[in-house]
Structure 1
């Protein structure tokens, strides 16, 4: 069953007054405008269909019927447990368990969060096109964001690395960090010996910044809260290793086999998002998962 997504607006005094300029002002990209015009999209003003050159007045009601997005066959819908933290007509936030990938890799047919989300959306007779806004490593748990349309994806992308989209993590690391809070500002690049690894690269690396603050100290470790200021692959894992405090269970970067947890003790615990359409501040949280609670309680003694 094909479904269409509708967007509703009321024209404000400050808005541009032709349909085209109005839509551009509301962050429609050139490709989205093209799809609206040529691939079955429609614009209604006060319940009458209008073209892009139609002139608007303050108070007009605008309904945009988005073009239908054909879901990719590369991601198959698969049933699975889905912990939904927040959902509206624009995007979906879920709490990902550890041990499952965000997206299928090439030639990979195993179940991922994208497969489960696609099944969930289609079961609700919604468009099953997958728009992944934030991803997590397979063995990192916590909050992930999926947009429900290309328009919502574009809107979220525009705020993703700003103060309007704040990402916080909890990690349990070896040792006690001194000072107890600070900024790690070290460029990250691709490891020259293994393409799937990252390292500190002062010559060719990209700017990477992570704020950290110690929440609890133990004899052999610390629970720290981190805020990403940039979004590099493995950023927290690489930065923690670089300052001498790798994450418990992160064998890829610590080379330490850990008996207390069988994956990196890293969890996306909070997202503060200024909704790009309603401008409401969403403060979304995911509690510490059981394996990290066990590790924390064991370290507490």
Structure 2
């Protein structure tokens, strides 16, 4: 077990709550984490002495928390395979997901997903192999995906997920040229009443959904867009660009047409700017455009107006 991602150190400051339980709540421990700390072997030391939740601390006290070990779920089988690690420390793991692989297993346990590969990777490193998926991507979307290494790191990341401290940028190739070239798509998204696995614009029951877009390059019949997610709805970018009349090339589910130039939606999560929830360092992480989208770009540049 890699010990360093289970140890947290704090010096008690003037504005910190002094009762241990209240301090932990103040520092974003969830109720389930408090329960696990208490009942599953977590330890708390104040000035090198073991203490319980009701202990009262003073300013300047040194607190050491050893998080409980986590029992990995049996639902996710470890499966060995290559993963492209973009960033890793003792709190989080960011990988570049290829197209054509799901983020998490569905009911059937036998197909390989990113969660299975990451679990095998963590086991090989003797780390906590509980899977904490922070961001997921559709099977046919490529790019950066974030896993947390402990439930505490997961809850810290969850709390900044839809804020400016966790910025998600995508590149997409869409049909046509958008006017204006940049803007905000602010349309509520709900579940499609006919096909439950699809989403649509639903002004009555949809959830607020916002995507900022900017045109980076125009081609005779298409555009390369940079998109920033302000909310995190299922299929958000795909639904939003389709709603304004510019579906993603290759996204036959929403465009309604099969495109021989691309056998998946041309959508890639290429950049994450994350303020690290523990170190407060700004992580600027990137994943280059995958080969199939680079080839599509070449095709689009070479086409005549049609």
Q: Report the TM-score, using the length of structure 1 for normalisation.
A: 0.96
What is residue 299 of structure 2 aligned with on the other side? 298
Q: CA deviation at 1:13?
A: 3.0
- For the 8 Å contact 1:249–1:261, the answer to whether it is kept is yes
Give the count of matched residue pairs: 301
Does 2:172 match 1:174?
no
CA distance in 1, matches of 2:126, 2:13: 33
Where do 4+ consecutive residues of structure 1 move more than 4 Å?
Answer: 1-4
Does 2:78 match 1:92?
no
CA distance in 2, matches of 1:236, 1:277: 30
What is residue 149 of structure 2 aligned with on the other side? 148
CA distance in 2, matches of 1:66, 1:276: 17
What is residue 269 of structure 2 aligned with on the other side? 268
Does 2:287 match 1:286?
yes
3-state SS of 2:63 partner: strand
CA distance in 1, matches of 2:2, 2:108: 27
CA distance in 2, matches of 1:50, 1:77: 37
What is residue 232 of structure 1 aligned with on the other side? 233
CA distance in 2, matches of 1:60, 1:289: 50
CA distance in 2, matches of 1:20, 1:36: 11
Q: CA deviation at 1:39?
A: 1.5
Q: CA deviation at 1:20?
A: 1.7
> 257-266 or 45-54: which moved more?
45-54
Encode CA deviations 1:37-72: one digit per residue, 9 max, x unaligned. 121111012322111222323333222111121111
CA distance in 2, matches of 1:243, 1:30: 42
Q: CA deviation at 1:2?
A: 9.5
CA distance in 1, matches of 2:58, 2:111: 52
Does 2:41 match 1:40?
yes
3-state SS of 2:90 partner: coil
What is residue 245 of structure 1 aligned with on the other side? 246
3-state SS of 2:172 partner: strand
Q: CA deviation at 1:116?
A: 0.4
Q: Which runs of 5+ in 2 are unaligned?
A: none
CA distance in 2, matches of 1:34, 1:201: 39
What is residue 213 of structure 1 aligned with on the other side? 214
CA distance in 2, matches of 1:36, 1:146: 21
What is residue 20 of structure 1 aligned with on the other side? 21
Q: CA deviation at 1:204?
A: 1.1
**What root-mean-square deviation, in Å, do the aligned CA atoms of Structure 1 and Structure 2 show?**
1.4
3-state SS of 2:254 partner: helix
- For the 8 Å contact 1:2–1:68, the answer to whether it is kept is no
> 78-87 or 3-12: which moved more?
3-12
> 48-57 or 203-212: which moved more?
48-57
